[in-house]
Amino acid sequence: MADYDYDLITIGAGSGGVRASRRAAALGKRVCVIENLRVGGTCVMRGCVPKKLLVIGSHFADDFEDAAGYGWTVPEAGPGITHDWPALIKAKAKELDRLEGVYHRILRDNGVEEITGTGRIKGPHTVEVDGPDGNTSLSAETILVATGGWPYLPDIPGIEHAITSNEALDLAELPKRIAIVGGGYIAVEFAGIFNALGSDVTEIIRAPQILRGFDEDVRDVLAQEMEKKGITIRRECIVRSIEKTETGLSVLFPYGDAIEVDQVMYATGRKPNTSGLGLEEAGVTLNGKSAIEVDEFSKTAVDSIYAIGDVTDRVNLTPVALAEGEAFVRTVFLDDPTSVDYTNIASAVFSQPPIGSVGMTEDEAVVALGGEDAVDVYVSRFTPMKYTLSGRDEKTIMKIVVDAKTDRVVGCHMAGLDSPEIVQGLAIALKCGATKAQFDATIGIHPTAAEEFVTMRDRRGYDS
């Protein structure tokens, strides 16, 4: 047996890489993890965690307004209620420092060696690290690539003036006017954040509607609520160029019209972070999107090299990367070949209002189950109890999609207060194969919004 420096070298200390590394080390394996940015990866340092902190902070704007309906004396807008954007960013940064410290401790306590630098694969068992002290060559029986993804910027004139979600999380000041290009979850989340904190927000999308891939009813409700809040959504529109002016940035559209803003943020997707890793030279296969091709056990075309998380472009969610890291350890170090089940993975969009979704959309179910007659749909629309006294004009929608033949619930979708928390529980039911009859037999918690999911009885007809 070859004598290697490590049993496992992990390139990338994000959620998946840290999970796999610490679990392998806990089994007594010699493990090192290589990272050229902050430990914690996209989710903790540049994504879901800091973004949700900003979402929570921005939502107080609505909460202050709603408080008046419950008898609270709320100062008039102006000097009475102000927001300090730099203070929010500073508090967010302090929390990220704390979380990064937690990750360092977890790795240290499990015996994982951390190496700062950029890793490049030089062979089936060799990684070259370009670090602060120069280049170092390391060897391992197994190499795991967990380098995640990176925001994508299109090649248009003036793109150097644009920012991505990375920079948006650390802006020195709140922009008075911002254009957000893209219609996915990152775009709508940041549109909600900036709008709630007082920015004039224009969201620019190529498609007719935001959030491609989510249920149509939910997409429509969210768009309506965003527009009620003053967000401008420019549909079926692209940006031709961005030009810096004396007073801001001019965003030019194909037909010659333009808007002027202070910031342009692109949220048009992310690409697998595979550039410069030496993957193809080492025999690892990449697909047309530059993602690493792997089998069901996360193994690449090279037997000793594996890949997990967003770099494989399977299901790009942090909990999925964690599950893939766990499955990798069981497969490689416990002689227990384990794959991840990608069905019925719940997801959330922390828009305002938020979305929770699990299972098939109505359109997906119609295709998968054989037509409209094969699908039963239940929908409830209502004003959340919180807004009955405040008078806020914001609706909630809940939707259940059912296989008419088996009565099995195949999809649950919601836009409205607390949707992510509610749908997480429903994800368990779908994973267990619950039927609509079992939903109906469940006694709800009253008064809650969640109880609507077990009280919907009337099917929605396709002509309604």
5: pLDDT strictly greater than 90: yes
H or E element at residue 413: strand 409-415
301 and 321 part of one domain: yes
464: pLDDT strictly greater than 90: no
Percent of the chain residues topping a pLDDT of 70 = 98
**Domain membership flag for residue 432:** yes
143 and 280 part of one domain: yes
Which residues, in sequence order, are CB contacts of 215 under 8 Å at separation 6+? 357, 361, 362, 363, 399, 401, 411, 413
In the numeric block, the tokens 């007719």 are attached to: 208
309: pLDDT strictly greater than 90: yes
Percent of the chain residues topping a pLDDT of 90 = 95
* Amino acid in the structure at residue 258: A
The token pair at 16 is 């998946």
463: pLDDT strictly greater than 50: no
| Domain enclosing residue 381, as ranges | 347-454
12 and 141 part of one domain: yes
The token pair at 232 is 């401008």
Averaged over 386-392, what is the pLDDT? 96
- Alpha carbon of residue 135 to chain centroid: 34
361 and 427 part of one domain: yes
Q: Are β-strands 31-35 and 113-116 bridged in parallel, bridged antiparallel, or unpaired? A: parallel
CA torsion angle 311 317 321 322 (round to 10): 160
How many C-beta neighbours within 10 Å does residue 39 have?
23
104: pLDDT strictly greater than 50: yes
H or E element at residue 278: none
pLDDT the model gives residue 1: 52
The domain that holds 376 is classified in CATH as 3.30.390.30
Q: Tell me which of 267, 284, 303 is where a domain ends.
A: 267
**Domain membership flag for residue 78:** no
Q: Is pLDDT larger for residue 177 or for residue 460?
A: 177
The token pair at 151 is 């925001």
358 and 449 part of one domain: yes
Q: Tell me which of 242, 267, 292 is where a domain ends.
A: 267
22: pLDDT strictly greater than 90: yes
**Domain membership flag for residue 128:** yes
pLDDT the model gives residue 255: 87
User: How far is residue 195's CA from residue 193's CA, in Å, rounded to a whole number?
Assistant: 6
**Domain membership flag for residue 342:** no
Cis ω before 337 (30° cut-off from 0): no
181 and 252 part of one domain: yes
Residue pLDDT, tens place only, 272-284? 999 999 999 999 9
261 and 241 part of one domain: yes
DSSP class of residue 227 equals H
Positive or negative: CA dihedral 425, 429, 431, 436? negative
- Alpha carbon of residue 344 to chain centroid: 16
User: How far is residue 164's CA from residue 357's CA, in Å, rounded to a whole number?
Assistant: 25
CA torsion angle 187 189 192 197 (round to 10): -100
Averaged over 293-311, what is the pLDDT? 98
**Domain membership flag for residue 90:** yes
**Domain membership flag for residue 174:** yes
pLDDT the model gives residue 81: 82
User: How far is residue 234's CA from residue 33's CA, in Å, rounded to a whole number?
Assistant: 44
In the numeric block, the tokens 């972070």 are attached to: 273
The token pair at 258 is 């333009």
- Model confidence at 133, pLDDT cuts 50, 70, 90, reads confident
pLDDT the model gives residue 406: 98
Mean pLDDT, all residues of the chain: 96
DSSP class of residue 424 equals H
**Domain membership flag for residue 461:** no
| Catalytic machinery residues | 446
DSSP assignments along 319-376, one per residue: HHHHHHHHHHHHHHHSS-------TT--EEE--SS-EEEEE--HHHHHHHHTSGGGEE
Averaged over 309-318, what is the pLDDT? 97
Averaged over 19-32, what is the pLDDT? 98
pLDDT the model gives residue 180: 98
Residue pLDDT, tens place only, 180-228? 999 999 999 999 999 999 999 999 999 999 999 999 999 999 999 999 9
Q: Are β-strands 263-266 and 177-181 bridged in parallel, bridged antiparallel, or unpaired? A: parallel
**Domain membership flag for residue 199:** yes
461: pLDDT strictly greater than 90: no
The domain that holds 29 is classified in CATH as 3.50.50.60
**Model pTM?**
0.96
325 and 376 part of one domain: no
Within 13 Å of residue 20, how many CA atoms lie on the same side as its CB? 39
Averaged over 139-163, what is the pLDDT? 97
Q: Tell me which of 249, 267, 285 is where a domain ends.
A: 267
290 and 218 part of one domain: no
C-alpha angle 207-210-211 in degrees, rounded to nearest 5 = 110
105 and 118 part of one domain: yes
| Domains contained in the chain, number | 3
Averaged over 51-72, what is the pLDDT? 95
Residue pLDDT, tens place only, 231-249? 999 999 999 999 999 999 9
Averaged over 403-422, what is the pLDDT? 98
C-alpha angle 327-330-334 in degrees, rounded to nearest 5 = 175
47 and 181 part of one domain: no
Which residues, in sequence order, are CB contacts of 5 under 8 Å at separation 6+? 30, 32, 138, 139, 140
The token pair at 440 is 């109906």
CB-count burial class (<10 Å; 0-12, 13-18, 19+) for 257: exposed
The token pair at 3 is 């004598």
388 and 449 part of one domain: yes
Which residues, in sequence order, are CB contacts of 56 under 8 Å at separation 6+? none
